[in-house]
Amino acid sequence: MSYATGTSTNQSPARNYLNAAHTVKSWLLTVDHKRIAILYLISVTVAFFLGGVAAFIFRLDLLTPEGDLLRSDTYNRLFTMHGVIMVFLFLVPSIPATLGNFLVPVMIGARDLAFPRLNLASWYMYMAGAAFILYAIIAGGVDTGWTFYTPYSTAFSNTHVAMTLVGVFIAGFSSIFTGLNFIVTIHKMRAPGLTWFRLPLFIWAHYATSLIMVLATPVLAVTLFLAALERLAGLGIFDPARGGDPVLYQHLFWFYSHPAVYIMILPSLGVTAELITCFCRKNIFGYKFVAGSSIAIAVLGFLVWGHHMFVTSQSPYAGIVFSVISYLVAVPSAIKVFNFTATIYRGSVSWESPMIYALGFIGLFLIGGLTGLFLANLGTDVHLHDTYFVVAHFHYIMVGGALMGYLGGLHFWWPKITGKLYNEFWARIAAALVFVGFNLTFFPQFIVGYLGNPRRYHFYPPEFQVYHVLSTAGSTVLGLGYLLPLFYLTYSLFKGKAAPANPWGAKGLEWEIPSPPPTENFLKPVTVTEEAYAYPLRKPGAK
Amino acid sequence: MSAADAVHHPDHQFDSPLQQRESLSLGMWLFLVTEVMFFGGIFVGYAVYRHMYPEMFHHMSHHLNVYMGGINTAVLLTSSLTMAFAVNAAQNGNKKRMVSMLLVTFVCSIVFLIVKYFEYAEKFHHHLVPGAHFATDPEYGDTAQIFFSFYFAATGLHGFHVLLGTICIAIFAWLGHKGHFPKEKYQPVEMLGLYWHFVDLVWIYVFPLFYLIGLT
Q: Does B53 touch chain A (CB under 8 A)?
A: yes
Domain boundaries, chain A: 40-512
Name the residue in chain B with its Cα closest to that of A113: B13
Specify whether the CB–CB gap between A503 and A353 falls below 8 A: no
pLDDT at A8: 45
Residue A541 predicted with pLDDT over 70? no
**What is the separation of C-alpha A454 from the centre of its chain, rounded to a whole number of angstroms?**
26
ipTM: 0.93
pLDDT at A128: 98
Tell me whether residues A176 and B132 touch, CB distance under 8 A.
Answer: no
pLDDT tens for each residue of A319-359: 999 999 999 999 999 999 999 999 999 999 999 999 999 99
Residue B3 predicted with pLDDT over 50? no
Tell me the CA end-to-end span of chain B in Å, nearest whole number.
59
Q: Does B26 touch chain A (CB under 8 A)?
A: yes
What is the distance in angstroms between the Cα of A210 and the nearest Cα belonging to chain B?
11
A261-285 as b/e: b if 16+ CB within 10 A: bbbbbbbbbbbbbbbbbbbbbbbbb
pLDDT at B7: 52
Q: Does B29 touch chain A (CB under 8 A)?
A: no
A429 CB-contact burial (10 Å; exposed 0-12 / middle 13-18 / buried 19+): middle
Specify whether the CB–CB gap between B199 and B157 falls below 8 A: no
Specify whether the CB–CB gap between A378 and A315 falls below 8 A: no
Residues contacting A492, CB < 8 A, separation 6+? A414, A418, A420, A421, A422, A423
Residue B1 predicted with pLDDT over 60? no
pLDDT at A270: 97
Residue A122 to residue A176: CA distance in whole angstroms: 8
Of the given ranges (A12-26, A56-70, A328-342, B161-175), which has the lowest mean pLDDT?
A12-26
- Give the closest residue to A248 by CA, choosing from A301, A303, A309, A307: A309
Of A214, A221, A236, the CB nearest to B30: A214
Summarize the confidence of residues B85-97 as an average pLDDT. Answer: 96
Residue A402 predicted with pLDDT over 50? yes
Collapsing DSSP to helix, strand or coil, A311 comes out as coil
Rg (CA), chain A: 23
Calculate the dihedral angle through the C-alpha atoms of B72, B75, B81, B87, rounding to the nearest 10 degrees: -90
- pLDDT tier, A524 (very low <50, low <70, confident <90, very high otherwise): confident
Tell me whether residues B142 and A236 touch, CB distance under 8 A.
Answer: yes
Report the percent of chain B where pLDDT is more than 70.
Answer: 96
Please give the backbone phi and psi of residue A6, each rounded to the nearest 5 degrees, phi first: 75, 5
Name the residue in chain A with its Cα closest to that of B30: A180
A117 CB-contact burial (10 Å; exposed 0-12 / middle 13-18 / buried 19+): exposed
What is the distance in angstroms between the Cα of A236 and the nearest Cα belonging to chain B?
6
Residue A344 to residue B188: CA distance in whole angstroms: 50
pLDDT at A542: 47
Q: Name every chain A residue with its beta carbon within 8 A of the beta carbon of B22.
A: 188
**Cβ-based contacts under 8 A for chains A and B:** 123
Q: Does B37 touch chain A (CB under 8 A)?
A: yes
Please give the backbone phi and psi of residue A541, each rounded to the nearest 5 degrees, phi first: 90, -15
Residue A418 to residue A489: CA distance in whole angstroms: 10
Residue A166 predicted with pLDDT over 80? yes
What is the distance in angstroms between the Cα of B82 and the nearest Cα belonging to chain A?
29
Tell me whether residues A219 and B41 touch, CB distance under 8 A.
Answer: yes
Tell me whether residues B39 and A222 touch, CB distance under 8 A.
Answer: yes
Query: Assign residue A505 a region: left if phi > 0, alpha if psi is -120 to 50, beta otherwise?
Result: left
What is the distance in angstroms between the Cα of B100 and the nearest Cα belonging to chain A?
30
Summarize the confidence of residues A476-487 as an average pLDDT. Answer: 96
Q: Does B55 touch chain A (CB under 8 A)?
A: no
Q: Name every chain A residue with its beta carbon within 8 A of the beta carbon of B153.
A: 225-226, 229, 235, 237
Average pLDDT taken over every residue of chain A: 94
pLDDT at A12: 55
Average pLDDT taken over every residue of chain B: 93
Rg (CA), chain B: 21
Residue A250 predicted with pLDDT over 60? yes
pLDDT at B136: 84
Please give the residue that has the higher pLDDT: either B52 or A13. Answer: B52
Q: What is the DSSP string of A440-491?
A: HHHHHHHHHHHTT-BTT-S---GGGHHHHHHHHHHHHHHHHHHHHHHHHHHH
- State the amino acid at position A175 in one-letter form: S
Q: What is the DSSP string of A100-158?
A: IHHHHHHHTT-SS-S-HHHHHHHHHHHHHHHHHHHHHHHTT---STTTT-TTIIIII--
- The CATH architecture one would assign to domain A40-512 is Up-down Bundle (1.20)
Q: Does B6 touch chain A (CB under 8 A)?
A: no
Q: Does B132 touch chain A (CB under 8 A)?
A: yes
Of A222, A233, A234, the CB nearest to B38: A222
Domain boundaries, chain B: 3-212
Q: Does B22 touch chain A (CB under 8 A)?
A: yes
Specify whether the CB–CB gap between A507 and A278 falls below 8 A: yes
A143 CB-contact burial (10 Å; exposed 0-12 / middle 13-18 / buried 19+): buried
Q: Does A244 touch chain B (CB under 8 A)?
A: yes
Angle subtended at Cα A265 by Cα A171 and Cα A319, rounded to the nearest 5 degrees: 90
Q: Does B39 touch chain A (CB under 8 A)?
A: yes
Give residues 429 to 458 of A whose Cβ lies within 8 Å of B. Answer: none
Of B19, B37, B145, the CB nearest to A219: B37
Q: What is the DSSP string of chain B?
A: --HHHHHH---TT-SSHHHHHHHHHHHHHHHHHHHHHHHHHHHHHHHHHHHH-HHHHHHHHTTS-HHHHHHHHHHHHHHHHHHHHHHHHHHTT-HHHHHHHHHHHHHHHHHHHHHHHHHHHHHHHTT-SSSTT---BTTTBTTHHHHHHHHHHHHHHHHHHHHHHHHHHHHHHHHHHTT---GGG-HHHHHHHHHHHHHHHHHHHHHIIIIITT--
Please give the backbone phi and psi of residue B139, each rounded to the nearest 5 degrees, phi first: -90, -40
A71 CB-contact burial (10 Å; exposed 0-12 / middle 13-18 / buried 19+): exposed
Q: Does B25 touch chain A (CB under 8 A)?
A: no
Specify whether the CB–CB gap between A182 and A206 falls below 8 A: yes
Tell me whether residues A188 and B37 touch, CB distance under 8 A.
Answer: no
Tell me whether residues A237 and B146 touch, CB distance under 8 A.
Answer: yes
Q: Does A219 touch chain B (CB under 8 A)?
A: yes
The CA distances from residue A168 to A139, A148, B37, B77, in Å, are 16, 11, 17, 35
Angle between helices A246-280 and A201-233 (to 10 degrees): 160
Residue A468 to residue A542: CA distance in whole angstroms: 50
- Give the closest residue to B76 by CA, choosing from B204, B213, B211: B204
Q: Which residues pair with A454 in a beta bridge?
A: A387
pLDDT tens for each residue of A496-513: 999 999 999 999 999 999
Tell me whether residues A114 and B45 touch, CB distance under 8 A.
Answer: no
Summarize the confidence of residues A30-48 as an average pLDDT. Answer: 97
Q: Name every chain A residue with its beta carbon within 8 A of the beta carbon of B44.
A: 252
Residue A487 predicted with pLDDT over 80? yes
Residue A186 to residue A516: CA distance in whole angstroms: 23
What is the distance in angstroms between the Cα of B180 and the nearest Cα belonging to chain A?
19
pLDDT tens for each residue of A81-122: 999 999 999 999 999 999 999 999 999 999 999 999 999 999
Tell me whether residues B13 and A112 touch, CB distance under 8 A.
Answer: yes
Tell me whether residues B13 and A111 touch, CB distance under 8 A.
Answer: yes
Q: Does B124 touch chain A (CB under 8 A)?
A: no
- The topology under which CATH files domain B3-212 is Four Helix Bundle (Hemerythrin (Met), subunit A) (1.20.120)
Tell me whether residues B146 and A236 touch, CB distance under 8 A.
Answer: yes
